[in-house]
């Protein structure tokens, strides 16, 4: 158990950030799944910029790795263009 005040604060901050990151990562995963399940081209083209933006924001704040975001966006772009 932490003895110093700063260590206790760090534990609190880490827990808050973990929950925050978990929420946004899960939201992005759900958006990616929804886009992959889409079979209508017009709907997918409208949804793709929002999902790509979401992934970029997560990569910028290091919730996910930047290469993971790039790989997901590439795969989704191929999916959208193939519809």
Residue 66: which CATH number? 1.20.58.110
Q: How confident is the model at residue 2 (pLDDT cuts 50, 70, 90)?
A: confident
Q: Which of 1-5, 33-37, 66-70, 73-77 has the lowest mean pLDDT?
A: 1-5
Estimate to the nearest angstrom the gap between the alpha carbon of 43 and the chain centroid.
20
Rounded Cα distance, 68 and 43, in Å: 24
Number of domains in the chain: 1
59 phi/psi in degrees, rounded to 5 = -70, -35
Residue-range definition of the domain harbouring residue 53: 5-82
The encoded tokens of residue 70 equal 């790039």
Contact 62, 56 (CB under 8 A): no
The encoded tokens of residue 55 equal 């992934």
Rounded Cα distance, 48 and 41, in Å: 10
- In this model, does residue 7 exceed pLDDT 90? yes
Question: Percent of the chain scored above 90 by pLDDT?
Answer: 94
**pTM reported for the whole predicted model:** 0.82
Q: How high is the pLDDT of residue 83?
A: 86
Helices (H) and strands (E) in the chain, counts: 3, 0
Instruction: Give the model confidence (pLDDT) of 11-44 as tens digits.
Output: 999 999 999 999 999 999 999 999 999 999 999 9
């Amino acid at each position: 158990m932490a003895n110093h005040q700063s260590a206790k604060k760090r534990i609190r901050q880490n827990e808050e950030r973990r929950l925050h990151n978990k929420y946004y990562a899960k939201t992005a995963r759900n958006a990616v799944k929804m886009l992959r399940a889409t079979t209508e081209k017009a709907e997918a083209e409208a949804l793709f910029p929002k999902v790509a933006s979401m992934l970029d924001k997560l990569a910028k704040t290091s919730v996910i790795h930047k290469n993971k975001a790039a790989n997901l966006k590439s795969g989704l772009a191929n999916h959208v263009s193939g519809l």
